[in-house]
Amino acid sequence: MVTYNKIILRSILLASYIGVVALIIFGISSVFAYLNTGADRSTLLHTEVKKIDQYLPKVIWEPLNNEGRVMDMQTLNAIEKDYLSALYLKHIAYKNNITIGLDDYYTESARENLYRTIATNNAERIVIEATTLAHHPKLDFFSEDGQLAVITDKNVIEYKRIYKNNVLVFETTEEATYKIVVLLEDGFWRIRHIVAQDIHEHIEKTIETPKINTTIKGINYYPKDTPWDMYTSNFDEHIIAKDFEIIKNAGLNTIRLFVPYKTFGKANLIPEKLEKLQCVLDIAEANKLNVVLTLFDFYGDYSVLNWTLNQRYAETIVSRFKNHKAIYAWDIKNEPDLDFNSRGKTMVIAWLKQMLILIKTIDNNHPVTIGWSSAEAAPILKNYVDFVSFHYYKDIANLATTFNTLKQTITDKPIVISEFGLSSYKGLWNPFGNSPTTQANYHKNVQKILKKNNIPFLSWTLYDYKNIPRAVVGKLPWKRHKQKHYGFIDTDGVKKPSFQFITN
């Protein structure tokens, strides 16, 4: 017994000894490792590639004709990159009244000017959300040693929202011209001086509305098995070709398609995705279908600092497809009025307005619209859209009245109902839902009203869907199941009774 205890005691002693030694070694090694870490000396040179596109306003350089040294493209790009970073950090600084990062892009004397403004704004509880949308820089001077440059940034379009005590007091779009001196310091082109030459309110040029053919008889389209997920690996042009033929043979002439913002790669559009979209448009053209292309699907962040990224996305798509024969119109955003509560009405409207202006400057041949979720929201920005479109899922008894009331507000522009429909879901989650026959009756009656009032329409939707991504209607099963049964054709590809009332 005694020996037994002794063995236990010895092993405990031994184990604790080993443990203590291990701990000491671990401690020493940790200290040693800590002392050996530190900034890599190469970081001094700022050679590492860390380019994330955060801020991409439109920058159009004037042809180079500067005094001093001949400029090379690499240096000019470096200057532009650092200048935009300087602006981006300035916007962040004024938005949060912080000074982080400014020291990288403003020289010691120049940053003082920003610090003072930030200090005043912070004390007065003033917050400024701003972005610049367009720059037209001209290189005035580049020093012989390549360390100093003077730029005149002309006609900078700058949008600002000014808040005091967390309340928006003012929004403004200005056009300004600045003279800027930048110095190459520590590998950064830092701003040394900014002198505004001219700042005034920006007045948009009015762009004429293109001619609009309003004989729209159409439908919203997603493939049966890949709703809201059309351009991923499931993309199948044969299915789309077949579906478009069904649509054409049903007597329709227009389809409404959606381009998801994130899936397409945000500001840096993924070429393969654009190819797929091209393919879809080609099929539509082959079937003589007009396409209303809804941009910014699955995008709900309207924050000012992201505008430049949003605009590059829209610009890329619109400029690529503006000459495609299938394109009928650009629908900026699907149901943006649903984001009014979460994102702020003024913010959403400001975003839409800038986007409308941008798209109209790129493509003046195709009309633009916004797919409002209700007739009540439809008059918003009516002076900026080329035709008004809204969605109608309410009682059809009021459809004609709603349309005609809206027509009194919007007298000079066509109005399109770009979504309407009825779910034929009846089941566990909604035992008193509508049957396919009720749905057919609904469409029969709607088509009568549409025909009588000569209303251009796009119905929701061609197919019933088996699966619906959560992002569309959320997790709730009664909502999901309802959304699955709006189609004119069921999940097995069989035409539902409503199909005969797909058009008038």
Partner 1 sequence: MKAKFIHITLICHLLSITAIAQIGLNPNAITILNTKNDFTAGDTIALRFTLPKGTKPNLYCTNSYGSTLISPSIKNQTLVYTLPKHISNKSGSIYWKLISHETSLSGQFNIRSKPNVASIETYIGPPSVQAGQNDYTMAVVIPTDTLDNPLNTNTKVTVKHQFLDTVVNATVINNNIIAYSNITSKQKSGRILISSEVLGKNSKEFTVDVLPSLPTNFTIGYNQNHSYADGNQITTFFTSTLKDRYGNTVIDGTYVTFFVRNKAGAVLKTFGTTINGVAKSEMLHPSNPESWTVKAFVNGMAESNTITLNYKEAIKTFNVHFSKNNRTITVGPLKSFMKQLIPDGLQVVAFVYKHNTLVHKYNGASKQGLVTFNLKKDLIKNDTYNIKIQVAGLEKTFNAKILW
Span from 120-128, 216-224, 351-359, 369-377 in contact with partner 1 (CB under 8 A): 120-128
Shortest reach from residue 239's CB to partner 1, in Å: 53
343 binds partner 1 (CB under 8 A): no
Handedness of CA 96, 171, 352, 51 (dihedral sign): negative
Q: List the Cα angle 383/389/395 in 5-degree steps.
A: 130
Which CB atom, from 192 or from 444, has the smaller least distance to partner 1? 192
Q: Which neighbouring-strand residues pair with 137?
A: 153
Shortest reach from residue 353's CB to partner 1, in Å: 18
What mask, x for binding partner 1 by CB under 8 A, covers residues 203 to 242? ----------------------------------------
Measured CA distances, 42 to 39, 186, 187, 213, 278 (Å):
8, 12, 12, 62, 45
Measured CA distances, 120 to 166, 187, 415 (Å):
16, 31, 48
Which CB atom, from 141 or from 298, has the smaller least distance to partner 1? 141
Residue from the set 11, 16, 29, 197 that interacts with partner 1 by CB under 8 A: 197
Residue from the set 71, 87, 114, 277 that interacts with partner 1 by CB under 8 A: 114
Span from 72-80, 192-200, 401-409, 418-426 in contact with partner 1 (CB under 8 A): 192-200
Contact 354, 132 (CB under 8 A): no
Which CB atom, from 123 or from 397, has the smaller least distance to partner 1? 123
62 binds partner 1 (CB under 8 A): no
Which CB atom, from 13 or from 195, has the smaller least distance to partner 1? 195
Q: Which amino acid is at 113?
A: N
Burial class (CB in 10 A: 0-12, 13-18, 19+), 243: buried
Nearest Cα to 134, choosing from 51, 54, 61, 82? Answer: 61
What mask, x for binding partner 1 by CB under 8 A, covers residues 136 to 155? ----xx-xxxxxx-x-x---
Span from 178-186, 376-384, 412-420, 481-489 in contact with partner 1 (CB under 8 A): 178-186
70 binds partner 1 (CB under 8 A): no
Residue from the set 109, 233, 341, 411 that interacts with partner 1 by CB under 8 A: 109
User: Is residue 160 classed as helix, strand or coil in its secondary structure?
Assistant: strand
Query: What is the H or E stretch that residue 356 is in?
Result: helix 345-362
Measured CA distances, 148 to 46, 142, 192 (Å):
18, 6, 10
404 binds partner 1 (CB under 8 A): no
Half-sphere exposure of 480 (CA within 13 A, CB side): 11
245 binds partner 1 (CB under 8 A): no
Residue from the set 96, 113, 401, 437 that interacts with partner 1 by CB under 8 A: 113
64 binds partner 1 (CB under 8 A): no
Shortest reach from residue 183's CB to partner 1, in Å: 8
Give the separation between CA 464 and CA 483, rounded to whole angstroms: 8
Torsion of CA 180, 184, 188, 189, to 10 degrees: 20
Give the separation between CA 107 and CA 192, rounded to whole angstroms: 5
Q: Name the residue with tokens 């227009």.
A: 254
438 binds partner 1 (CB under 8 A): no
Residue from the set 28, 195, 270, 471 that interacts with partner 1 by CB under 8 A: 195
Which CB atom, from 12 or from 196, has the smaller least distance to partner 1? 196
Query: What is the H or E stretch that residue 291 is in?
Result: strand 290-297
Shortest reach from residue 54's CB to partner 1, in Å: 20
162 binds partner 1 (CB under 8 A): yes
Q: Rg of the Cα trace of the chain?
A: 30
Q: What residues make contact with partner 1 under the rule CB under 8 A?
A: 67-68, 90, 94, 109, 112-114, 116-118, 120-121, 124, 126, 128, 130, 140-141, 143-148, 150, 152, 160, 162, 164, 169-170, 172, 174, 176, 178-179, 181, 183, 192-201
